[in-house]
Amino acid sequence: MEWQPDEQGLQQVLQLLKDSQSPNTVTQRAVQQKLEQLNQFPDFNNYLIFVLTRLKTEDEPTRSLSGLILKNNVKAHYQNFPPTVAEFIKQECLNNIGDPRRSFVLPLGELQTWPELLPQLCNLLNSEDYNTCEARLEHCRRSARTAELLDSDALNRPLNIMIPKFLQFFKHCSPKIRSHAIACVNQFIIGRAQALMDNIDTFIESLFALAADEDSEVRKNVCRALVMLLEVRVDRLIPHMHSIIQYMLQRTQDPDENVALEACEFWLTLAEQPIWRCGGGGRGGKCSAAALDVLANVFRDDLLPHLLPLLKGLLFHPDWVIKESGILGMVAYLPELIPHLIACLCEKKALVRSIACWTLSRYAHWVVSQPPDSYLKPLMTELLKRILDSNKRVQEAACSAFATLEEEACTELVPYLSFILDTLVFAFGKYQHKNLLILYDAIGTLADSVGHHLNQPEYIQKLMPPLIAKWNELKDEDKDLFPLLECLSSVATALQSGFLPYCEPVYQRCVTLVQKTLAQAMMYNQHPDQYEAPDKDFMIVALDLLSGLAEGLGASVEQLVSRSNIMTLLFQCMQDTMPEVRQSSFALLGDLTKACFLHVKPCIAEFMPILGLNLNPEFISVCNNATWAIGEIAMQMGAEMQPYVGVVLPNLVEIINRPNTPKTLLENTAITIGRLGYVCPQEVAPQLQQFIRPWCTSLRNIRDNEEKDSAFRGICVMIGVNPAGVVQDFIFFCDAVASWVNPKDDLRDMCTSLRNIRDNEEKDSAFRGICVMIGVNPAGVVQDFIFFCDAVASWVNPKDDLRDMFYKFMPILGLNLNPELISVCNNASLGHWRDRHANGDVGVVLPNLVEIINRPNTPKTLLENTAITIGRLGYVCPQEVAPQLQQFIRPWCTSLRNIRDNEEKDSAFRGICVMIGVNPAGVVQDFIFFCDAVASWVNPKDDLRHFMPILGLNLNPEFISVCNNATWAIGEIAMQMGAEMQPYVGVVLPNLVEIINRPNTPKTLLENTAITIGRLGYVCPQEVAPQLQQFIRPWCTSLRNIRDNEEKDSAFRGICVMIGVNPAGVVQDFIFFCDAVASWVNPKDDLRDMFYKFMPILGLNLNPEFISVCNNATWAIGEIAMQMAITISRLGYVCPQEVAPQLQQFIRPW
């Protein structure tokens, strides 16, 4: 039976509601007391909902007040409502949704406590009343924000009912309802709700039907849906992509700016880049520029013919507004545009100068990647000018752009530091308050970027006085101290000992700031009504600057610490309620531990429990710094850390096993666990099995450094104590060990010994078992196939029948060569065995490998692994692989030319040489790429004879590019091989001599040939010098015009050595040799000494009867003595004692 109010009680409630609207204070107090009394009766809330929903004749304020009181009661006491009261309120809310005058959404708990709400709302959506329908749809949209819960079994998957219902409303006559319906469904796209995925085709078709809707909100939600679908279900959009692109082009020009902005997001997502949203003015222009930027990065030259004609007109337009839009668009084509953008920094209109700064900053990374004189130096020069611009907006843009350039350029800026500092220091006197803050950031970033290079007396003298002047000018309570303290923190770290003259007052003031803030916080906590809460940012930045001092000064900070109470203050800061204070405190603790542990050690017993309590990943940065500090303390404490292991280890183990923990925290946690295990292995090793797997996966991707080294030493010591703890996850440990590029020798020995102990009978039986299981259930290994590959690769010498079992998985390897699954594919590529038994399976994997290596935008590591695997397959099965050589030789060469010499590269190159022997025609078209790859070797093994006959055969000037690259490759190999090149000189020298004497040979080929002959003569003079007379003249004329460089240097050393072996070979053409020597501008000292050895030959040729010979000899002597000077005077300048006695004999004609 439905609840009905008592009439007398209802009138009392109505009177109470009316009285509560009285402005009289006494009446208000009485009402408040009466409300508290009535709240003791649960059905009082029934009266309130009854007034709100049923008494339509009552005045609006009374009904509204009834709803407000009910809402507050629901928030505070809903869990205590009797079921009958709760049900009555719920039903009344549902029945009255749609009232145009008010909302009936009450906070009636979570959806779990009202599971029938959404299905009932969906059923009520069938109402023909517009207001009711719209309101209920809006409530559905709000309730749908907990999308994950709605798609779960906890609520019996209400989305299965809701999604089809929402799709029906896509066709509603009301644009508002259509818009609400799309917005409802959009909330479930990114989460891939199963109910939506089941209806995905209907959803997409319905979106297309609304694409041209007259309502802008509908169009905006359609665009938003397509953008999100592009991220999660691009497979469903591909068949319609042409139409979608045409549609988005139209919507990008939509008259409604919000629709146009949403359409711009589509292009960014299409290019598979992170979305970049611009704030402030000109949002459409900047978002469009961002989209164009990303599209240009993807489509590159293909986009240029369509884009450039349009943008050229904008760039040179006389109207500055249009010119600004042109600059925004032209950022995609940089080599031609950067110079023009730099020129735009001098434009008369300030906004053009400003937007040019912004645009150039976006491409600082590209600028730095080019030769410095091409773009970096001109850009830096002009930006520094703009930093001193008269317009404040330009100053701001230039200073921000220069800070970005600093981050990218780093030590490239070192040669220009004096010029940079002059500008930045001058800006101190020019900038007002706002831009001064940006200037601090630019100086701090410069210090971070160039580091210790800033520690020069002249730089310190320029930089520190204005900073210290500002430091002294600002009061302790001035918030402008924040950016200045941050700036000084970076400067102190960079200057290191150079900051010593300034450190004491800075240190003391920081300590004072911390002490003042703590005192203010204490007074506020005791008397909050008398004191204001302190601004703890002062304390935070002061702690950060103290960290910078400790890091920069190192052990020199010890005297400052000893004369202060910083350890007492640090103890208080570490317990502060504000996470940011604790974060900075733990950072300072770690830095002081490294710099002056003498003062930290007495406090360890008090500090460690606080550190343990802060190992809480809910506060990521606090937890991260606390973890790092514990690791630093452990390395200083050694075995004395033992009493504190139990305080911190359980939390560390919990963190490293926690899902979705940020990468940096995982790495720091792994390092700290490793360090604890290094100093206290007996205490940590028993828990090895609890953390070894995430420990390995956390550290496998970080670079070699001291922290990683100490952590690995710890894990090795722990495995020694508890080897059983690693058995279950041994493949993860092997994978982590393999991540080292260059471990120290003793660490390598530790890891290798642990890895090798696993090759035994127990391992054999275990692998046989896993192979049998994979045969029964191959699907069970697919997800973790890369780990299986890694485990197989750990075998040193498996038995033949076990190896045969591994071969059975070749087809699985082939199936996994799918570049969409990068990590699986990468490991599968490396998983092939180097054994001639594999030839039966080449056809399974080779087509996929060839497809991968030719695929655009394939990650570098996958390309390299694929190239190595193809080479290895070719080495063991050349007859099967060589016929396809032409299909992969070019990407094979470009993939391997940049990797270091190692065993994998060696085996791959042996394979390619064997394949070229089988199918030489397969390499002809791309021979220059092969030469380039060959030249990438630094120290190849002796049997590089595989290469030389191939190179010799290709010394054919009919094919200029092939010949040129083969020649260059021979020269590079010669410099690496040294005297070991001797057996191959006869293979290549005759062809080289023929080329250098050949008429009409292109200049570049002549120069490369001359350099290579010189290099061959340098390493094998006895073999080359006898033919000196056959090539000395064209050799000299080829090299006389090229600039000084390392290749020219090595070639001239070779010719000098050959002249020493066969001086007669140069006599006839000695003037050409003198002319070539004279082409040097600044030869190295030892090369100049080699030239001096030929002075006697020059002296014999100073015979005026032979004018040309004498002339060249004279010129050469002058050049050798002092480069490009008058001979006698320069000889006198360098050897006055020898020349001056004859002064009278030549002074008049001189």
pLDDT score, position 815: 44
Please provide residue 163's backbone torsions phi and psi, each rounded to the nearest 5 degrees.
-60, -50
Q: Is the dihedral of CA 1103, 1104, 1109, 1113 positive or negative?
A: positive
Whole-model pTM?
Answer: 0.45
Q: CA of 235: how far to CAs of 201, 238, 239, 249, 815, in Å?
A: 11, 6, 8, 21, 21
Contact status, residue 902 vs residue 870, Cβ threshold 8 Å: no
Which of 216-225, 426-435, 1118-1127 shows the lowest per-residue confidence on average (mean pLDDT)? 1118-1127
> Looking at per-residue confidence, does 710 or 191 come out higher?
710
Question: What's the CA dihedral at 337, 341, 344, 349 to 10 degrees?
Answer: 110
Report the C-alpha gap between 840 and 1067 in whole angstroms: 64
List the single range of 31-45, 128-142, 1007-1021 with lowest mean pLDDT. 128-142
Q: Given this model, what pLDDT does residue 1078 score? A: 81
Q: Is the pLDDT of residue 1111 over 70?
A: no
**Residues 880-928: tens digit of each pLDDT:** 888 998 899 889 888 888 888 888 888 888 888 888 878 877 876 776 6
- Predicted confidence band of residue 442 (pLDDT cuts 50, 70, 90): very high
Question: What fold does the segment set 615-736 form as a domain?
Answer: Leucine-rich Repeat Variant (1.25.10)
Average pLDDT over residues 745-766: 55
The string over 981-1018, giving b where at least 16 C-beta atoms fall within 10 Å of a residue's C-beta and e elsewhere, is beebbebbbebbbbbbeeeebeeebbbbbbbbbbbbbb
Percent of the chain predicted with pLDDT > 90? 25
The pLDDT of residue 296 is 61
Looking at residue 1116, what is its pLDDT?
Answer: 44
Q: Which CATH superfamily is domain 110-270 in?
A: Leucine-rich Repeat Variant (1.25.10.10)
- Distance between CA 1076 and CA 1078 in Å, rounded? 5
Q: Which residues, at least 6 apart from 761, have a Cβ–Cβ distance to it below 8 Å?
A: none
Q: Is the pLDDT of residue 602 over 90?
A: yes
Please state, in angstroms and rounded to a whole number, the distance separating the CA atoms of residues 673 and 684. 8
Least confident of 914-923, 1006-1015, 1034-1043: 914-923
Task: Flag whether pLDDT at 1109 surpasses 60.
Answer: no
What is the model's pLDDT at position 1098?
A: 45
Task: Indicate the pLDDT class of residue 818, thresholds 50, 70 and 90.
Answer: very low
Q: What are residue 275's phi and psi, to 5 degrees?
A: -70, 135
Residues shown for the chain: 1150
**pLDDT interval class at 103 (50, 70, 90):** very low
Please write the tens of the pLDDT for every residue from 708-738. Answer: 888 888 888 898 888 888 777 777 777 777 7
Q: What is the pLDDT of residues 464-507, one digit of tens each?
A: 999 988 888 888 878 877 888 889 889 998 988 898 888 888 89
What's the pLDDT band for 982 if we cut at 50, 70, 90? confident
Distance CA 179, CA 334 (A): 42
Report, as an integer, the average pLDDT of 595-617.
93
Average pLDDT over residues 54-61: 82
pLDDT at 235 over 80: no
How far lies 589's CA from each of 610, 627, 631, 697, in Å? 12, 11, 11, 28
pLDDT classification of 808: cutoffs 50, 70, 90: low
Ranges of H-type helices in 854-920: 860-876, 878-881, 885-896, 903-918
Q: Residue 137: pLDDT above 70?
A: no
pLDDT at 230 over 90: no
Q: To the nearest whole number, what is the mean pLDDT of the chain?
A: 79
Residue 1117 is predicted with a pLDDT of: 46
* Most distant CA atoms of the chain, gap in Å: 142
Of 986 and 819, the one with more pLDDT? 986
Domain spans of the chain, in order of start: 1-109, 110-270, 615-736
Helix axes 117-124, 83-96, angle to 10 degrees: 30
Confidence of residue 981 (pLDDT cuts 50, 70, 90): confident
For residue 950, name the pLDDT band (cuts at 50, 70, 90).
low
CA-angle at 262, arms to 362 and 255, nearest 5°: 110
